[in-house]
Structure 1
């Protein structure tokens, strides 16, 4: 793979050629069987909502080196890439099994801190998490707007909320467009800067970039 410069990507993230395609890549230990080239590993947008946001050209405000709070870390597919280019990265995951899988990912990254916590209860980790530059939200639960509202407390004044709204997690019977509209209506204390569908990478998902008001 050979790198291609892209000023819209955070420092530490590059576009590289693999199998005739431009692929996002970060420098770090492989996590989920992703293709690698030396110390670089492909950031698969089909398996990462934040990767899909960057691949789609959204202005996430990420420049590299930020302090990040990641909600819904699961076993580390996306948060591992974030830790590859960011500063201190707090990874909140509710389920014990994926948190166990996240531990070896963190062992290879000194700046990645797994937290077995419920993102709906930020008071349970408020004593650990410092003010952050980016709040990345990728939770599969009802009340996704309320999760963003409750965790706003950690965002710096010039920080960014990077949220992914999962329509089927909110209401499997509702029209996704109605779910997205309800999320934006319920978002409190934020100014929405940009929204975009994550199709074709992730069906019925809306990506939202916002900042604190």
Structure 2
């Protein structure tokens, strides 16, 4: 891939004789470190996988990000290392506790114990006109979640989405699931790029889109 698509603050560093993506920040999930730099594992991060595959995400570094499906903070902690204010929405209490711990040393990471399917519950906290929405929500209606949260995105912002086919329908062919999800997304977005993430995440589709 070309590293020209990587945001400022995401670089390649040597870890145990292997060149890997990295951000600068405190470790979160036992990842290898080299001084202030921490390896970004694409097999544990859909966004990391998208960077490895050369997606043009539109992320440049320093932007305001709304992250939907933050879980325990594995990926969103990397995002907060290179981005500006990063709002991390997670619904499940157990991973949210780990998310809060990951946020403690990061003054740009704001954890929100909220349901990404109900954006009105955090609309009073998240500023309008965010530069990017990064979404990794393992539930039915993933495209619906993206459409409902489009209200927060700047006119020239980017949606960076990972669609998990098995969370939508465990019996249908992934390609059919992806097509249905993309049709729903097009109600609110212009889809710029799609590609399977199977090298790192089986039956996932990476999507980059911008608001209509």
TM-score of the superposed pair, with normalisation by structure 1: 0.96
- For 2:100 and 2:51, how far apart are their aligned partners in 1? 26
Superposed CA offset, 1:106-129 (max 9, x none): 111001000000000000000000
Counterpart residue number, 1:210: 209
Alignment pair present for 1:151 and 2:149: yes
1:161 aligns to what SS in structure 2? strand
Match 1:181 to one of 179, 182, 191: 179
Tell me by how many angstroms 1:157 deviates: 0.4
Counterpart residue number, 1:95: 92
Superposed CA offset, 1:161-192 (max 9, x none): 00000000001111000000000011121000
1:60 aligns to what SS in structure 2? coil
- For 1:16 and 1:126, how far apart are their aligned partners in 2? 38
1:127 aligns to what SS in structure 2? coil
- For 1:23 and 1:17, how far apart are their aligned partners in 2? 6
Superposed CA offset, 1:14-65 (max 9, x none): 0123344331000000000000000000000000000000010000000000
Counterpart residue number, 1:195: 194
1:182 aligns to what SS in structure 2? helix
Count of residue pairs brought into register by the alignment: 209
Counterpart residue number, 1:160: 158
Alignment pair present for 1:80 and 2:77: yes
Do 2:15 and 2:34's aligned partners in 1 also have CA atoms closer than 8 Å?
A: no
Counterpart residue number, 2:105: 108
List gaps (5 residues or longer) in structure 1: none
Alignment pair present for 1:124 and 2:121: yes
Superposed CA offset, 1:76-111 (max 9, x none): 000000000000000000100100111111111001
- For 1:142 and 1:104, how far apart are their aligned partners in 2? 28
- For 2:35 and 2:16, how far apart are their aligned partners in 1? 16
1:7 aligns to what SS in structure 2? helix
What RMSD in Å do the two structures reach over aligned CA positions? 1.0
List gaps (5 residues or longer) in structure 2: none
1:23 aligns to what SS in structure 2? strand
Counterpart residue number, 1:27: 24
TM-score of the superposed pair, with normalisation by structure 2: 0.96
Match 2:45 to one of 44, 48, 58: 48
Do 2:15 and 2:33's aligned partners in 1 also have CA atoms closer than 8 Å?
A: no
Tell me by how many angstroms 1:140 deviates: 0.5
- For 1:183 and 1:6, how far apart are their aligned partners in 2? 29
